[in-house]
């Protein structure tokens, strides 16, 4: 029988790619959506998997888990804010903690015990074992603590993957690599921070592979554990080197005014080396290969 996946964040960049990959591999895929059924992203998702609308209540999410009967839950939904303002506090707590607690409670009620959770490299300011870069990162750790309770009390099997930045084709998020693609198209100079800012990028297909490797690890094991693994490339770069790789890979130089932008209050200035990389996984797509195959945004994006 096919394995059954329930994905939160299935309308997102990595979650959508994961849904497509699992469906292609024969999984029965279900997605939790909070956008209305007529939303174009939801309509596209419905062609790949069963999309279940969550109305925000614990009861609604419990019904979704019971209906989908997942053998593995993939929890990727999150609210990301690099530097929060007062108005961001409620959505960060609601989306990253309350929604996650509702999911765990629904899983417990339905007897669904396996979960692969998306953590973040932003939980390691100054390369510490734990020091949140932002309130976003702190809420991700708060959810991981809730997850540990369900591991201990309800014998969940859990893996948290602490992800470096992801990128790849179709990425419309306001992150550095999509912004670089937009600047290439528009021949626009970019205002940048100092060129020695450390970065680590994982191609979306490698990130999806990590979630699948983690799921298989859970399916092969019956122990109630919460393992935490790193998902990062073995190709750390400084931001100025990223621009050089871009020019070599794509044949297009990008103009930048280095130092024109200040660092954030808690800018990450050290490469993250903490933690054990997920066993059985490696970053296979080099940064040059990944950048070479990117498409530039269309004019109407």
Residue range 4-167+201-231 in CATH 3.40.50.720: yes
Cβ atoms within 10 Å, residue 11: 22
DSSP state of 88: G
- Report pTM: 0.95
176-200+235-272+284-292: CATH superfamily: UDP-galactose 4-epimerase, domain 1 (3.90.25.10)
> Which long-range contacts (C-beta less than 8 Å, at least 24 apart) are formed by 129-137?
129/274, 133/266, 133/268, 134/81, 134/82, 134/83, 134/84, 134/266, 135/81, 135/84, 135/88, 135/89, 135/92, 136/78, 136/79, 136/80, 136/81, 136/82, 136/84, 136/92, 136/96
- pLDDT in the model for residue 227: 97
> pLDDT tens per residue, the chain (301 residues)?
689 999 999 999 999 999 999 999 999 999 999 887 788 888 888 889 999 999 999 999 999 999 999 999 999 999 999 999 999 999 999 999 999 999 999 999 999 999 999 999 999 999 999 999 999 999 999 999 999 999 999 999 999 999 999 999 999 999 999 999 999 999 999 999 999 999 999 999 999 999 999 999 999 998 999 999 999 999 999 999 999 999 999 999 999 999 999 999 999 999 999 999 999 999 999 999 999 999 765 443 3
- pLDDT in the model for residue 159: 98
- pLDDT in the model for residue 179: 97
The domain ranges of the chain are 4-167+201-231, 176-200+235-272+284-292
For 181, the 3-state DSSP assignment is helix
| Dihedral sign of CA atoms 184, 189, 195, 197 in order | negative
Cβ atoms within 10 Å, residue 23: 16
């Amino acid at each position: 029988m096919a394995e059954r996946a329930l994905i939160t964040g299935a309308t997102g960049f990595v979650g959508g790619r994961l849904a497509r990959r699992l469906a292609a591999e024969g999984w029965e895929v279900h997605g939790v959506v909070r956008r209305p059924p007529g939303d174009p992203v939801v309509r596209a998702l419905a062609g790949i998997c069963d999309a279940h609308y969550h109305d925000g209540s614990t009861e609604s999410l419990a019904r979704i888990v019971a209906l989908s009967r997942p053998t593995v839950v993939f929890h990727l939904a999150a609210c990301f804010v690099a530097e929060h303002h007062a108005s961001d506090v409620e959505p960060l707590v609601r989306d990253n903690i309350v929604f996650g607690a509702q999911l765990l409670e629904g899983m417990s009620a339905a007897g669904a015990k396996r979960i692969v959770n998306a953590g973040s490299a932003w939980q390691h300011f100054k390369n510490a074992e734990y020091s949140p870069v932002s309130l976003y990162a702190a809420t991700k750790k708060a959810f991981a603590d809730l997850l540990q309770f369900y591991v201990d009390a309800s014998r969940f099997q859990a893996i948290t993957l602490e992800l470096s930045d992801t990128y790849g084709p179709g990425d419309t998020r306001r992150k550095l690599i999509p912004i670089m693609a937009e600047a290439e198209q528009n021949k626009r100079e970019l205002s940048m921070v100092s060129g020695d800012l450390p970065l680590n990028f994982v191609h979306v297909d490698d990130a999806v592979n990590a979630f699948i490797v983690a799921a298989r690890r859970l399916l092969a094991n019956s122990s109630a554990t919460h393992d935490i693994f790193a998902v990062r490339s073995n190709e750390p770069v400084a931001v100025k080197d990223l621009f050089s790789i871009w020019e070599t890979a794509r044949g297009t130089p990008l103009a930048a005014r280095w130092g024109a932008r200040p660092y954030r209050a808690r800018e990450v200035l050290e490469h993250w080396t903490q933690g054990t990389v997920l066993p059985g996984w490696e970053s296979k797509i080099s940064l040059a290969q990944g950048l070479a195959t990117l498409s530039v945004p269309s004019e109407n994006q």
